Structure 1
């Protein structure tokens, strides 16, 4: 008997190693928290799926084995599988390909697929690992919407909003209100500092702001003075918070421009004083005028008596002073807020031309001149007598401001849908410290002035819904009266 023995130790080791490898693969496959599937390449027919697939898709294992993705209608966009196969054929694998997956119950989820070809018993199959990123995508979309809302709130806010570096004040973001009020476009300021564009007129205010933020203190309603591209000085209330952007200390600032509000407060205070003076004058004016009229009458009678022929100049002086006092009372009464006005469509140029002989005569008597530059303007709603008084007061002020021969120029023109009446003199100008007080009763720089002429002008302007602006320098002063032009009338020719 002949026997043969074959050493199968090596084969047994290979078989044992293969079995162990299969066991490890099975453990990884079925316990993986991500979806794992094995399917045929051509039809996409499932050979095996893991527990994560069952949990996320809603299908039991026996419902999918042997069926394809087309049969199950599991892909929202079936063409995505063809794209995955194409990538695998071209590159040998696919990584993090985003797909939309439909569960058994119709719920749509977003997943990332990675896969490659594997050999099983001489056959090629597609093995894929798919991660569910539905919640991550939802959070990303929520974050995107939140950032979009914040951006819109930031950009459309009526308040100036900026984000700058804390150390240098270099602009990172600026909103539309910044561009509108400060005058610089977004592209012009990004990367530049607030000091470079002349925003801080008092740099010490920025230093104070910086110190407060470094001390971890919020800043609320800090009053600052800032400048714009036109060189104007503006007043604002600043609130600010520190924030960290990618490790850099930054500053979120919100600024409310209160320039016009402060001007209105000053104007309201001035108007209150005007009204008070007017009301007082209205209440006592007649009681004062009656005895003055009596005294003036007796002075005129006595003046005609030959007994007082040597004292005529004294009588004339007393009568002149009484007339001056009466004129002051008239000015007082003009300040009354309840003074009736008769507003009718009127021609401002015609009013000026009518007054020209009177004001020209007064100017010539002082070796001065009146110059007219009247443009094409529409009719305005005017009280004829009140506007005449305003023009006379402004022209008289202009003539009295010039100690040497010169011109007072009266102009009318259109500007930004407003009708402008400008009265310009060649005097020595007004002290800048008095500009905010112009129109206040009894404020005067003239030796014999009452301080009521401009107050009357401001009152007339208010009654005509007009605004007075002043420009002054050592070469003269110009008063601008801006009338609204919504009258529906055609411009005059």
Structure 2
């Protein structure tokens, strides 16, 4: 330990006492005050007589008692202490900050220290305020960046409430919104201490929203330190108690001169004296929220325009693709139709041509030719086939474009089916086919064109005969099924593949090799049934026969 000899007290007493710096001499071991000047008394608030003979611990001068032990350790290690900040407590219990410098000395042979203290409390306060302001500006910038970095409004509001609650250390932060349709107030976002109830689903009546809106004529915030004794909450005791509102700070959110809502802060645990910097921070954040909201709205508008444009492009592309597919299908149908017409109409014409050529070759030019009955029958049959094909072409076109007029009346489906079976007896015999009928009696009538309906049923029977070898067994059934009357034509023939496609134009089953045709029979059936508001369908498997059915709505009245 180094020591400094005590100078002559008489020589330095005046300088010691008149020094503007606070100086104190204490014992090294206990901190008992041996001497202190007037500046030290003014600094601590104790009179000279109250200081002498008492320890710093007894007076409670050290704000942190461990600070003295630290100072002594530094002195014993280095022999001096230079400009170290320590907090100390004054007589009136005020905490001050001092800049300490100290050295060891011997006082009447006893180890002691002499310390000089400069009060830097105001300097530290200004410094802390400046640091706090810089920190607030930094936080404001970071929050604003995070807010404006997002273009999703819900994310912007959630970020705002969470960040403000953390920075201001409050119990609840919320964004209140005015519903433009009802003028009611709703909570758009909230960050709340779990110890207190949430306002998320609270709805403010329109009259309260209008009254609250009238309070905001500028972008200045409203601060209420004690909500219980505030005139603004005089009539809102129920709300205040329900959500534990003790102090309030609210900043308006404006956009282009239009009031949108508020950025609000609640202290729920106790009243709170809002500091000017807290008010300013909330006002600035409300402005940032308004800017971010405007950006989000612009982004949504752009997305909407992009989405509309993309949708229009997709729709137009789909239309073009559909049109292209239709043109392709039409081209394929045209090619198929030409092939079918060429083949199916050419066959009977070629047969007639060969027959006539043979007759002409057998007889001289001047001789009259007598035609045998068998030849006439073949000619009649060939011309009938050609006429039937042409009529089906005309009928399918008329039904498709809606040009075929339906002459509807009440029709009994069982009676119509019985008539078709009776008329088809010669054709059935020619094809060595048998038919079983199960026709329900007393069926409700259907409202239909009897000629067209008969034609559709005939096509189903004809289709079964054409696409199967001789010896077929047909079953014709009628009955009621819910609000419809149903007719079924079932056979035990070779069966069909892809039966649903058979109802399209120019489609023929594999069994069509037994008869010629354009593939319009089942297509006409579908057109006729659908023209009457009914449904048609089929079920078949190769080798297991086929079942065709149609249903028509029951006639009313």
Instruction: Give me the TM-score of the superposition, normalised by structure 1.
Output: 0.44
Higher Cα Rg, which structure: 2
Instruction: Give me the TM-score of the superposition, normalised by structure 2.
Output: 0.40
More helix by share: 2
